[in-house]
Amino acid sequence: MNYRSILSLKRLADRSKSRALLFAVLILGLLAPQASLAEAPVKIVNFTADWCASCHEFEPKFARALEGYTVDEVELVTVDLTHLRSGDDSRQATIRASKALLRVHNAAYLWDWYGGYTGLAVMIASDTGEPISCVDKTYSARQISDRIKLAGILAEKAAPGRRRPDGADCPAPLR
């Protein structure tokens, strides 16, 4: 299964009233067989929201870049912050859910760094959770794909703590 198929299912789920539940069930059902084989070396944590103008510019390029990868190569972790602006109860529930999701993926520190920030995808090593690279709307689909490829090489070949490419491309932590 490639990301084009998953993104098509997400678009279908987005049309549904219970889109979050439908999407989660579909993804879990599709990914469960692969999960038992091996963990992808790279996870991409995508901070997004429906109200985010930068996300609307970034996501089509991001989706095109992901088309060349399978779930065995890259695991997509979407942190949907759409309800962050929907009132205090929704805001608190979104924050709790986002923090829990990031903890599961060994990336809880990302909330401390970028929580509430959208339009950014952070590539991390699956084994340690260490950040490798970041991309946003300023990157072309080809540049995003190249960053994903480099992240995969670094995650598999470089020693933990030495997986960053030359020069920092992630924004400084916001907090």
Tens digit of pLDDT for each residue in 140-151?
A: 999 999 999 999
Q: Which of 86, 146, 81 is nearest to 120 (CA)?
A: 81
| Angstrom distance (rounded) from CA 56 to CA 136 | 11
> Please, are residues 45 and 124 in contact by the beta-carbon 8 Å criterion?
yes
Q: Residue 94 in 3-state DSSP?
A: helix
Please compute the mean of the pLDDT values over residues 10-15 and round it to a whole number: 53
Q: Which residue has the higher pLDDT, 165 or 31?
A: 165
| pLDDT score recorded for residue 163 | 82
Q: Tell me the pLDDT tens digit for each residue of 31-55.
A: 554 444 578 999 999 999 999 999 9
Domains of the chain are: 1-37 (no CATH), 38-157 (3.40.30.10)
Amino acid letter, 132: I
| pLDDT score recorded for residue 36 | 43
Q: Which residue has the higher pLDDT, 161 or 30?
A: 161
